[in-house]
Amino acid sequence: MNLMIDNQLVTLDVLRTAWAAPLTVSLGDEAKRRITEAQELINDVVASGKQVYGVNTGFGQMAQVRISNDELVHLQANLVRSHAVGVGEDLDDNIVRLIMLMKVIALAEGFSGVRVELVEMLCEMINHNIYPRIPSRGSVGACGDLAPLAHMAGALIGDGEVRVDGRVLLAADALKAAGLEPARLAPKEGLALLNGTQVSTALALAAAFRTENLLAAVMMAGAMSSDAIKGSDTPFDKRIQNVRGHGGQIAVAGVLRELMHGSDIRASHEECDRVQDPYSIRCQPQVIGACLDVLRHVSSVLETEANAVTDNPLVFTDSKSVLSGGNFHAEPIALAADYLALAIAEIGALSERRIALLIDSHMSGLPAFLVKDGGLNSGFMMAQVTAAALASENKSHAHPASVDSIPTSANQEDHVSMATFAARRLHTMIENVANIIAIELLAAAQGIEFHRPKTSSSTIEEVIAKLRTISPAYETDRSLSSDIQRVASVVDKGGYCAYAASVLPSYCK
């Protein structure tokens, strides 16, 4: 993808593409004009001798300390180096690419007072696949994602390490190989790079994209489980959904109807005497639909934040003002991430309940634990235990991070968002749910195959055929661990999104 940043809205589908694969980024003429005008105002402030936070003062609790003009370049470099104190495993390159892109988007709005050359340097690093090594821990999500963004900024000035095509290199060596000179930061540029919510937002965006993958897969798994237990599709009737009116519920029911359409298994029991199915089958539109509504809301918040200016102070050229505020506070991201955590936990919880239903012969009408010769074979008994363990673990992860503020910087920064952790923990939850759904997909496929020669819908039969290429039917006891992981990988990589793309936020724009 070739992306020109010129003060336009960068939409979810573009952000998803940038997360998924390398891209080329450039600045348009309007962006360059706005960046230049703001930078000229900062130069005027320096020349006038007016005291402005972050331009010619210290930072945080030391904001009252005036810095002489001959130390302003040194001040910005010191800021970057002193704040590069992150710890933990590195963020993945696709997350780092999103961080860098969103920093370009923010700086290109022309409210930060940096030079065009600095923003173009970030673009060139993206274009050459030079991704700074950014430790994942060390941000409280207020005054921006300071520590992780300092590691990004460090690479621009030739400090630290980067990854290029998976190889770890010294930043200075990688820049030299790409024909780039390390940046020499001008007044305010270090602060503009460090202030901002781009790390929290990138982590949350990536989680939202991965949650889309989960939702598509769980709708497929739910449709398959419904057919496997000879459940009714009447609860998915659009008339039921329409009188409640929630968009997500209506959309999910529509997908389920489409997935199950033409099933011979469903046609074989239309006149049966079962009155109602368990909630995990019957209430899929209500539960998964609510989760889809959460994802849609969260995606909207994140799209806004991805296009936001979140450093401090901000430069307003129309009034020739430099104003100090708090756009760096990532509370919108923290709350959105906490909300998404609830939905992720519920997606896994409902899937686990259907696995439990499938293996219970009294409820499902299928062989106990989905295996022939039960007793001799244990079948899916322990696979359900694994799903239960993962679903239970996610209940703890779903506890809100945003309520756990802790003061920093000698109480100058006395309330923080914890957005970075709020977003980062979503990925552990997503991995858990991908494995739960993988177990359900395997269990539901096994259940449907017990109804042979009757078949499910053509779509579901196509999915079962693909599953059988990576996980053979369960005839006698064997380890399912590798099978589960292979199917979970398909889930997490969006292998089922084509079946539900019309309802997913970053696909349906």
Q: Token digits for 378?
A: 């244990």
Give the residue from 228, 231, 264 showing the smallest Cα distance to 380.
Answer: 228
DSSP H helices, 273-400, are 279-282, 284-306, 331-359, 361-364, 381-397
Give the residue from 274, 464, 477 showing the smallest Cα distance to 370.
Answer: 477
Which residues are 135's β-sheet partners? 90
Residues 256 and 236: beta-carbon distance below 8 Å: yes
- Residue 275: Cβ within 10 Å count: 6
Q: Token digits for 507?
A: 């696909």
Q: To which H or E segment does residue 408 belong? A: none
396 CB-contact burial (10 Å; exposed 0-12 / middle 13-18 / buried 19+)? exposed
Q: To which H or E segment does residue 53 belong? A: none
Between the CA of residue 297 and those of 120, 214, 407, what are the distances in Å? 33, 17, 29
23 CB-contact burial (10 Å; exposed 0-12 / middle 13-18 / buried 19+)? middle
Place of tokens 């997503």: 430
Give the residue from 399, 401, 341, 323 showing the smallest Cα distance to 139.
Answer: 401
Q: Token digits for 345?
A: 């936990």
CA atoms within 13 A on the CB side of 181: 5
Strands (E), 166-320: 167-170, 314-316
User: How far is Cα 85 from Cα 60, in angstroms, rounded to an integer?
Assistant: 16
Catalytic site positions: 53
